[in-house]
């Protein structure tokens, strides 16, 4: 049965596939960091992605958020090529209920970390959507790391059984 707004009922994501950039990765829940931003997976698990567990699950109405590292001390990490995604590229999220939510990329945009467009990134209203977020721009080190976020905005295209 579909949830409100034509989406799926809640079910947490377990894996993510982004064929255009050759990504297949597990998804683990992440919460909020102490500074109020979205937490990220530990760096020693840089091939893992993190689903922001205070927001919708992928396929539910609203904007589900999955974060990943761009690189690590040992080289590229899971979302290293996120900036190369193009409109129309597919993102497939397998959920705990075994349904696959398939999203298509609408745009890939850069934002200064301190000026994220919260109303476009967060929220549990509106049609099912997905945001993939990683770091980008210049490395400034310290607590900031990279000065920008790279965000892929995507909309639900279909859902299917595996």
pLDDT digits (tens, 9 = 90+) for 101-139: 999 999 999 998 888 888 899 999 899 999 999 988 778
**Cα 125 to chain centroid, rounded:** 17
Q: What pTM, to 2 d.p., does this model score?
A: 0.91
Q: Which two tokens stand for residue 30?
A: 């992440």
CATH number at residue 80: 2.40.260.10
Instruction: Determine what percent of the chain is predicted with pLDDT higher than 90.
Output: 64
Task: Pick the more confident residue, 25 or 72.
Answer: 25
State the residue range of the domain holding 89.
4-160
Q: Is the pLDDT at 1 greater than 50, yes or no?
A: no
Average pLDDT over residues 33-45: 82
Give me the number of domains the chain comprises: 1
């Amino acid at each position: 049965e579909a949830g409100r707004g034509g989406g799926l009922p809640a079910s947490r994501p377990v894996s993510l596939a982004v064929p255009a950039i050759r990504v297949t990765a597990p998804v683990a829940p992440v919460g909020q960091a102490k500074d109020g931003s979205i937490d990220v997976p530990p760096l020693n698990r840089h091939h893992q992605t993190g689903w922001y567990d205070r927001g919708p699950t992928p396929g539910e109405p609203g904007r589900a958020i999955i974060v990943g590292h761009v690189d690590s001390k040992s080289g590229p990490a899971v979302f290293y090529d996120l900036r190369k995604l193009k409109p129309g590229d597919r993102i497939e999220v397998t959920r705990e209920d075994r349904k696959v939510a398939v999203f298509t990329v609408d745009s890939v945009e850069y934002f200064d970390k301190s000026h994220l467009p919260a109303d476009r990134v967060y929220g549990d209203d509106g049609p099912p959507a997905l945001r993939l977020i990683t770091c980008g721009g210049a490395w400034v080190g310290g607590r900031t790391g990279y000065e920008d976020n790279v965000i892929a905005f995507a909309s639900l295209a279909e859902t299917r059984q595996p």
